[in-house]
Amino acid sequence: MNQRASALWVRLKANRLAYSISILITLTVGILIGTVISSGVRGQDKKSSSDVAPLTVPSPQVLSNQFSQISKQLEPSVVNINTESTVKTPRRRRGAPSGDDEANPFDDFFDRFFGGQGGQGGPGGGSIRERSLGSGVIVDPKGYIVTNRHVVEKADRIRVRLQDDPPGLLHDAKVIGSDQETDLAVIKIESNKPLPIAKLGNSDSMQVGDWVLAVGSPFGLQETVTAGIVSAKGRNIVPQRQFQSFIQTDAAINPGNSGGPLVNMTGEVIGINTAILTDTNAYAGVGFALPSNTVAQVYNQLVSPDHRVSRGSIGILFNALDNPAIARVYGTGSGVTISDVTPGSPAEQAGLKVGDTIVAVDSKPVKNGDELVADIAARKPGSKIVVGFIRDGKRQEATATVADRAKLFAARLGDDDEGGPDSGPKESKLGVSVQTLTQEGADRLDVPAGKGVIVKDVKAGSFAEDVGLSRGDIILEINKQAVDNEEQFNRVSGTLKSGQDVVFLVRQRGAGRQGGTIFLAGTLP
């Protein structure tokens, strides 16, 4: 029994040893297999990473770079314009009834397209110092720059920054000439070296859908380029401005872009950015540029010895917008129906009357008012034209001598003068500049012909402003002495001395037939 138990014990012990050895072998084999597999995987990682191709950036020449090439070409000729001016804040004139101020028909235009032209003051009136920014483009290496008139209008100081100028360096500029009708101006800076210029293109060659770039300084951000297309041509956004037929574009134009160039894909300037259509004073997808063909015509006259634009006219008025009802009533399908004839004008002398419909000039058909104005405005004052017109259904002709538009419509063209910095009225020591009243202006303002002078400008903070004189007022007398023209005004005002009482007899602007005349007075400081 003991032998059998001993033998069993030995057998069990042997089995346990064999089982332990089996487990050990299994574990060892497993570890070796895991090591081999792990090594294999690591080997595969190293092998696969060497097969991955690296990422590469394509050569810049592969990409379209036409926009950047045009930008580099144009940017040196595009300048930033800084202006400083003294702006009078609103004030009610002494003795003037509430609400008698005559609205400027173009104030809404600037409020809508440019966000206004001046700051707002308190109820007491006064003046503020205003700074504004715009753009311009150099068109002559001697420093002649084209910009918008509203950018430099009434500025006391104009300074220009070139692209390569170091920070803080600004060049003083002077106005060579400006044109109210097209809102263009030419300014000039002095330079000891030729300046880079932009090449002018032919705006007539542009088609709707063509790519364009707008270059300028929106919000003062110099060297800004935006891209878009020509959205439309021949846009007349302000009917009263007969010489502003714009190129419409969706290239982003914002405040500060005014005066900068609109450029085609060959790098030529085909327009000067002038206005935006917006309710927020910022870009809304609709901008307007004056065509380069118009720019060239105006520029060439502004840099001439006269520094002003001369346009022909025969002295008629007509509806700015075509109205089919007018054509039906006056019995013609096309042409321009006269709504007013200026007294003493070439049209009156030629026998034209209200209701006549002009259908041709020198046998060339006239379809609308834009064509008629463009044709006659291009004629030199003194030249003769044959006007074909229809009256009471019958075709007739009349010969008219073209007159100078600026002189013929001096009162209707607004209070601002055309021409260069040396043209127009001179400011007196009273702080007011005046002009002799034209016959038409006298009729319009209900003032006897040859009586009084019209106030063209009042200097901020001057004696004239203190006593309440404003632009558009008619000064009839100074201290009981009649001033019927500029010479009389200058002679009388020249005798006034410091400490002397000065009394103006004035017919105020907007007073009309009901307002009569009032006295404005004070003691000359």
Residue 273 burial (CB count, 10 A): 30
Q: Using DSSP, how many helices (H) and how many strands (E) does the chain show?
A: 13, 27
Distances from the Cα of 430 to the Cαs of 14, 348, 503, 523, in angstroms? 133, 40, 12, 11
Would you call 171 a catalytic residue per the annotation? no
Q: What is the residue whose two structure tokens read 């063909």? A: 293
Choice among 71, 132, 150, 313 that is catalytic: 150
Question: Which of 77, 85, 127, 183 is labelled catalytic?
Answer: 183
CB 214 within 8 A of CB 253: yes
d(CA 198, CA 181): 24
In contact, 146 and 136? CB cutoff 8 Å: yes
Phi-psi region of 499 (alpha: psi -120 to 50; beta: other; left: phi over 0): left
SS3 state at 37: helix
Residue 315 tokens read as 């002295």
Q: Distance between CA 432 and CA 465 in Å, rounded?
A: 8
> Exactly one of 77, 135, 231, 258 is catalytic; which is it?
258
Find out whether 301 and 308 touch, Cβ atoms under 8 Å.
yes
59 is catalytic: no
- Encode 320-389 in three state secondary structure: CCCCHHHHHHCCCCCCEECCEECCCCHHHHCCCCCCCEEEEECCEECCCHHHHHHHHHCCCCCCEEEEEE
Yes or no: say if 455 and 447 are a contact pair by the CB < 8 Å rule.
no
- For residue 150, the Cα-to-chain-centroid distance in whole angstroms is 7
Residue 132: active-site member: no
Residues annotated as catalytic (active site), given as ranges? 150, 183, 258
